[in-house]
Amino acid sequence: MSEKYSKEDFIRFVLSTFEDSALDKTKAREYLSSQGLNVDSMVSEGLKRVKKIQLQIEAEKTRNEMLSAELVKQRAVEWVESILKKIDFSLPELVKQEGLTVSFRNMESLSKEDIKSILVKHFTLKFFEEQKNKSI
């Protein structure tokens, strides 16, 4: 009759076969060295692998953030373009509505591209904040 063993049983078995010397760091180094292994090299290689994995994780995180930034900026561009197309668009009204602080004395002298650029930056930041608040 065959008995089934769980993962816990296997782990207990493996741990029970370790010698006490394997639990002490110094004795473990001595044991591995006595088996012909270069412990310092193993540690160095392990640390390199960990660092490489950390860098890969950071790179992936940065890629995701950049993709997210592009999507948010695209959303802001589309939003601003839709606002600017409205017949009743008023920059002073939008400034009041959004609570923007502007340092232009004559907003009327701004070109359409200047207005678009300012608003895209504003809405990109606003949408980033909204996205950040949703993820919290």
What does the pLDDT profile of the chain (136 residues) look like in tens digits? 457 778 787 777 766 666 554 567 787 788 888 888 888 898 899 899 999 999 999 999 888 888 888 888 899 999 889 888 888 887 778 877 887 776 666 667 778 888 888 889 888 888 888 887 777 6
Residue 19 maps to a domain: yes
Residue 33 maps to a domain: yes
Residue 3 maps to a domain: no
Residue 2 maps to a domain: no
Residue 79 maps to a domain: yes
For residue 51, the model assigns a pLDDT of 93
Residue 4 maps to a domain: no
Helices 39-85 and 112-135 cross at an angle (nearest 10°) of 130
Instruction: Domain count for the chain, please give it.
Output: 1
Expressed in angstroms, the distance from the first to the final Cα of the chain is 55
CA 89 centroid distance within chain: 37
Q: Could you say which DSSP state residue 133 is in?
A: H
For residue 83, the model assigns a pLDDT of 87
User: By residue range, what is the domain housing residue 35?
Assistant: 9-135
Residue 104 maps to a domain: yes
For residue 17, the model assigns a pLDDT of 65
For residue 21, the model assigns a pLDDT of 45
Helices 112-135 and 91-98 cross at an angle (nearest 10°) of 20
Residue 68 maps to a domain: yes
